[in-house]
Amino acid sequence: MHLVVIIPCFNEEPTVGKVVGAVPRKVEGIARTDVVVVDDGSTDGTAEAARRAGARVVSHPDNRGVGVAFNTGIDEAIRLGADVTVNMDGDGQFDPADIPVLIRPILEGKADFVTASRFKDKSLIPSMPGVKKWGNRRMAELISLLVGRRFHDVSCGFRAYSRETILNLNLFGRFTYTQETFLDLAFRGTRIVETPLRIRGEREFGESRVASSLWRYAVNSAKIVFRTFRDYKPLRFFGFVSAALFLVALLLGGFFFIRYFMTGRFSGHLWAGFVAGFCLTQSTLFFATGLLADMFDRIRRNQEKLVYFERRRLMECSDRVPDKDGSS
């Protein structure tokens, strides 16, 4: 089994070397371990520190966002022929010594995707600002509601993926990838396991570029969740809006005609008739949009199959020809 640990980084020079050096090279069930640091346009010595510690380094010429850096790391893991892929941050919040625990459910065939959980075990809840705890829990509740399964932590970036899982991943978010990954994999029926681990609540140095502004984080994460749910469940998404508008039209239309039968006049409440007609029209349009989007969803799934087979072909080539290049 081949393990690839990907570490997206932006200006993590003080900690990335220590993180890379602490990744265990001898793990039960793993014959080979590679560490890939994705330097997302850092302006400090992140890339050099990672190389000195023994990591492969893939560099972006400019800062493109955590979501893009994560996708770059996944592409590199596929190119290297990874059987198991672990993603973690380079800021020191996650302990690389926990990697064997994190990947165990995959090696035992019990999971396809394993995520570290900060909140599943109450004794392991880290010290962090109350507003961040509240925000993480509300986001977990939202994702749980959308996928129909209870999760405690959907924002932690310490995760492990099986080979088939990374071949099927199809993400688009630039700002982050954490919630989108949950939706993408849960909607595919992936076996997901939350593993409680002790994790630092705050970075050792500097501020998080993802969660430094809670308002910005909430807005950008909500947009990613909104778009992912719209794309994967279009009939449910547009159908819900259509049903809500139809209900408003029904109530206002009922009120409008009841008033007419009671008084024999439309005057005085014409607004209700106009609004009911508008809502009924919009309800019909949203329902038609849902049907059309559902058809496009079928096309998208066929396209994803093509991407999957192309990735698998690339990975099979990697299995036959071992890569010895230390950086790119």
Is 296 exposed, middle or buried (CB count within 10 Å of its CB: 0-12, 13-18, 19+)?
exposed
pLDDT at 261: 83
pLDDT at 328: 44
Give the single-character DSSP code of 91. S
Shared domain for 45 and 116, answered yes or no, is yes
Among 120-124, 221-225, 255-259, the least confident range: 221-225
Last residue of a domain, one of 180, 196, 226: 226
How far apart are alpha carbons 141 and 225 in whole angstroms?
12
Shared domain for 66 and 210, answered yes or no, is yes
Q: Is residue 314 assigned to a domain?
A: no
Shared domain for 218 and 238, answered yes or no, is no
Instruction: Read off the tokens for 225.
Output: 């969740």
Shared domain for 194 and 293, answered yes or no, is no
Q: What is the pTM of this model?
A: 0.75
Shared domain for 215 and 243, answered yes or no, is no
- Residue 198's φ and ψ, nearest 5 degrees, are -85, 120
Q: At which residue do the structure tokens 């039209």 appear?
A: 249
Shared domain for 162 and 269, answered yes or no, is no
pLDDT at 134: 87
- Residue 124's φ and ψ, nearest 5 degrees, are -110, 5
Instruction: Read off the tokens for 232.
Output: 């994967």
pLDDT at 179: 84
Residue 212 has pLDDT above 60, yes or no: no
Shared domain for 131 and 278, answered yes or no, is no
The CATH number assigned to the domain holding 33 equals: 3.90.550.10
Q: Is residue 328 assigned to a domain?
A: no
Shared domain for 301 and 201, answered yes or no, is no
Q: Is residue 323 assigned to a domain?
A: no
How far apart are alpha carbons 177 and 210 in whole angstroms?
11
Q: Tell me what the mean pLDDT of segment 171-178 comes to.
A: 75
Shared domain for 87 and 158, answered yes or no, is yes
For residue 252, CA distances in Å to 92, 174, 287 come to 57, 42, 20
Q: Tell me what the mean pLDDT of segment 289-302 comes to.
A: 84
Among 50-64, 294-308, 313-327, the least confident range: 313-327
How many domains does the chain divide into?
2
Residue-number span of the structural domain to which 200 is assigned: 2-226
Q: Is residue 311 assigned to a domain?
A: no
Amino acid at 137: R
pLDDT at 231: 81
Average pLDDT across the chain, whole number: 86
Q: Is residue 268 assigned to a domain?
A: yes
**Which of 46-60, 137-151, 219-233, 286-300 has maximum average pLDDT?**
46-60
Among 41-50, 64-73, 262-271, 284-293, the least confident range: 262-271
For residue 205, CA distances in Å to 12, 14, 98, 280 come to 8, 8, 21, 55
pLDDT at 281: 95
Neighbouring residues of 217: CB distance < 8 A, sequence distance ≥ 6 = 135, 176, 210, 211
Render pLDDT for 118-148 as a digit per residue (tens, 0 to 9): 999 888 888 888 888 888 888 899 899 888 8
pLDDT at 320: 64
Residue 189 has pLDDT above 90, yes or no: no
Shared domain for 216 and 256, answered yes or no, is no
Q: Is residue 53 assigned to a domain?
A: yes
Residue 202 three-state SS: coil
Shared domain for 62 and 120, answered yes or no, is yes
Q: Is residue 183 assigned to a domain?
A: yes
Give the single-character DSSP code of 119. S
R_g of the chain computed on alpha carbons: 24
Q: At which residue do the structure tokens 């994460």 appear?
A: 221
Residue 327 has pLDDT above 50, yes or no: no
pLDDT at 207: 60
Shared domain for 247 and 222, answered yes or no, is no
Beta bridge partners of 87: 6, 159
Q: Is residue 158 assigned to a domain?
A: yes
For residue 23, CA distances in Å to 4, 7, 54, 250, 328 come to 10, 11, 10, 61, 21
Amino acid at 92: G
b/e map 262-294, b = 16+ CB within 10 Å: eeeeeeebeebbeebeebbebbeebbebbeebb
Q: How confident is the model at residue 155 (pLDDT cuts 50, 70, 90)?
A: confident
Q: How far is CA 169 from the centre of its chain?
A: 10
H helical segments located in 125-213: 130-147, 163-168, 178-187
